[in-house]
A and B are shown apart, each in its own frame.
Chain A
Amino acid sequence: MIEAWEYQVVAGLLFMIGTLGVLVRRNVIVIVMCIELMLNAANLSLIAFSRQWGNHDGQIFVFMVIVVAAVEVAVGLAIILRLVSNRDTVNIEDTSLLKW
């Protein structure tokens, strides 16, 4: 029998990997993917907790998170499209006009 905590460990590790990706990778598209990983980790956690408590709150929450994720990706990729057409780069380190 799988126990609740095993799911939480998977979720925690997934979240860690996502966070690492946001910190380390320079390709903005990959950074967005890593943010998706973070959201997915939270989703897994929510679903596991939902099962653990036997109520649907967590699952409905995940439903909403999926909607949010879809919108975020759409908007984010559109912003990245602008970036590419303005500057022809997807490297986050190339965007540092605004500083200090």
Chain B
Amino acid sequence: MIPQIDIGALGPMLPVAVGAILLPLAEVLMARKRTFLSRPFTQERRGTFLAVASLLCLVIALIISVNGLLGPSRVFNSGNPMIVMDGVAHFLNIVVLLGASLTVLGSVKYLADIHSNHGEYYALLMSSVLGMMFLTSASNLMMLFLALELMSIPLYVLAGFRRSSLRSNESALKYFLIGSFASGILLYGMAILYGMTGSISLAEIGKRFDPESAPHLLGAALVVVGLGFKISSVPFHQWAPDVYEGAPTSVTGFMATTVKVAAFGALMRVLAVALEPAAELLYGALWVMAVLSMTLGNVMAIIQQNIKRMLAYSSIAHVGYLLVGVIVGTLDGYAAVLFYLLVYTFMTIGAFTVVAILAKGGEDRDRVEDLAGLSQSRPLMAVVMTLCMFALAGIPPTAGFMGKFHLFRAAIERGIEIGDTSLFWLAIIGVLNSAISLAYYLRVPLVMYFRDAPPTSDPDVPGFFERVVLLTCLAAVVLLGIVPDDIFNVLSQTAASAQHLLLLQSP
């Protein structure tokens, strides 16, 4: 039987896939001594060329995604929908693509600085992005698993991309081992879910899932563990600081944002569709995970001296905030999560890009003290960093405040609706945590503005590409805070449009 296939559903993925497949080829062709232009490419020009090429693919994919955002939902194969391109998938793809584009722009000079300017970087990045895009739209367990691996395996390599650096190598190794271990757990959970329900489609599982039965719940628990690892929620978080610190900074920015975006997409879909019958039980568990993530993430971040490590802990805390929206489990809650993911991507990549620019001569300068006097020497970088820190801390009117506001508001509204005080406590703990978090976010501007640079310091000038990244993040962090309403309305609509197809089947 020939299935009804809708290639158009793959629209946004195709350019990225083309990039992922052709970029290694282009790299090889250009690496030859004599190229088709009969002039050898210097390594630098080769890097720039590949970056621009991958950017092109990403931007085309971005345009297609934006077009599809409010269009009808599509499935690849109507008989056996492997992926569902609904509003949520499109939106998360947009965030992933934005994050990836900013990463590509921010990588060019950084890779040269750390002497790791290999063309394969972009090919791996594109493969990973492709995996993320499938992950956000996967509608059955097999696609979920494959997409997860397609996302993760290139990242293992990217984390170790500074081949001669012991730290980078260790980061890759840890990420690989723990990641594969978590994949194993996830896979076993999926096997059990399949065995109990007889289907690998999320929707079918949702129909047949029996929240009373122990093996069903065992499968659900293992799947939550596997996804909990990917979003690095406490207690599956410990790899994150180590891996983030050791990986090249541009890769860290990428890992800290897009991976979480995609994994949250998968988590929401799994929770809202496949495990919906067990929602109440699971939300209890997620509640604890959320509170632990927020609190431990913030407390641990306070005593960090390394910015990358501090941001890693801070990202764990942010996972806690994001889980609030997932636990709320209403359209409003999901819309808040989507919005926060967008905001989080900008503020985190902005911060990591500043750290990446500071790297020089093969050395990362990623200690908090390394930023001393930045407001004097590089005011733009200092302003971007400051705003990103304020946004991460949730100070109005930055975008971070708006994101947190929506999350906690959704929790409170839901709490009133169903008379559940635990949601109030979640919101209160969240607000308290964001107050605590200021203690360490504030250190960064403090050092930049109120301390003089050591005489030897000569921070690097941001190049054109980096300037673009910085200004984009700056604009996004400010604008999403000042005029967030249109975006949020779009998100509410996308969440609502997805509702009928896959997400939230129960009215």
Asked if chains A and B are in direct contact (CB within 8 A), the reply is: yes
**How far is B241's CA from A39's CA once the two chains are assembled, in angstroms?**
26
Q: Interface residue count for B (Cβ, 8 Å)?
A: 42
List the A side residues contacting B160 at CB < 8 Å.
79, 82
Q: Contact: A32 with B171, CB < 8 Å?
A: no
In the docked arrangement, what's the CA distance between A35 and B192, Å?
18
Which of B156, B172, B195, B198 counts the most A-chain CB atoms under 10 A from its CB?
B195
Q: Using Cβ atoms and an 8 Å threshold, which residues of chain B touch A87?
A: 166, 169
**Do A71 and B149 have beta carbons less than 8 Å apart?**
yes
Contact B167 A98 (CB under 8 A): yes
The answer to whether A32 touches B177, judged by C-beta atoms less than 8 angstroms apart, is yes
Q: A28-B177, A32-B180 are in contact. Are A68 and B145 (CB under 8 A)?
A: yes
- Tell me the residues in window 193-248 of chain B with beta carbons closer than 8 Å to chain A beta carbons: 194-195, 198-200, 241-243, 245-246
CB-CB < 8 A to B145: which residues of A?
Answer: 61, 64-65, 68
Question: Judging by beta carbons under 8 Å apart, are B176 and A82 in contact?
Answer: no
Q: How far is the CA of A98 from the CA of B245 in the complex (A)?
A: 7
Contact of B177 among A39, A92, A97 (CB under 8 A): A92
Would you list which residues of chain B between 124 and 165 have a CB under 8 Å from chain A?
Answer: 141-142, 145-146, 149, 153, 156-157, 160, 163-164
B215 to chain A, nearest CB (A): 9
**Contact between A99 and B242, CB atoms less than 8 A apart:** yes
Tell me if A98 and B198 are in contact (CB < 8 A).
no
Among B146, B149, B169, contact of A83 (Cβ-Cβ < 8 Å): B169
CB closest residue in chain B, given A49 = B195
* B173 at interface by CB-CB < 8 Å: yes
The reply to whether A42 and B180 contact each other, CB–CB distance below 8 Å, is no
Minimum Cβ distance to chain A for residue B132 (Å): 16
Shortest C-beta distance, B105 to chain A (Å), equals: 26
**A45–B191 touching, CB < 8 Å:** yes
State A92–B177 Cα separation when bound (angstroms).
10
Q: How far is the CB of B311 from chain A (nearest CB, A)?
A: 14
A61-96: contact bitstring with B at CB < 8 Å (1 yes, 0 no)? 100110010011001101110110011000010011
CA distance A29 to B171 in the complex (A): 16
Size category of the binding interface on chain A: 35 or more
Q: How far is the CA of A78 from the CA of B246 in the complex (A)?
A: 18
The reply to whether B156 and A75 contact each other, CB–CB distance below 8 Å, is yes
Q: Are A72 and B149 in contact (CB under 8 A)?
A: yes
Please name the residue on chain B nearest to A82 by beta carbon: B169
Binds A, one of B181-189, B359-367, B490-498: B181-189
Residue in contact with A35 in the complex, picked from B173, B180, B200, CB distance below 8 Å: B180
Interface string of A41-67 (1 = CB under 8 A from B): 110011011001101011011001100
B residues adjacent to A (C-beta < 8 A)? 141-142, 145-146, 149, 153, 156-157, 160, 163-164, 166-167, 169-174, 176-177, 180-181, 183-185, 187-188, 190-192, 194-195, 198-200, 241-243, 245-246, 309
* Given contact pairs A65-B145, A68-B146, a sample of 18 additional A-B residue pairs in the complex whose CB atoms are under 8 Å apart: A8-B195, A18-B184, A28-B173, A35-B180, A42-B188, A45-B195, A52-B195, A57-B194, A65-B187, A68-B149, A68-B183, A75-B156, A79-B160, A79-B172, A86-B164, A95-B169, A98-B171, A98-B174
Which 9 A-B residue pairs are closest in the complex by CB-CB distance?
A38-B184, A49-B195, A98-B242, A45-B191, A53-B198, A42-B187, A42-B188, A95-B170, A35-B180
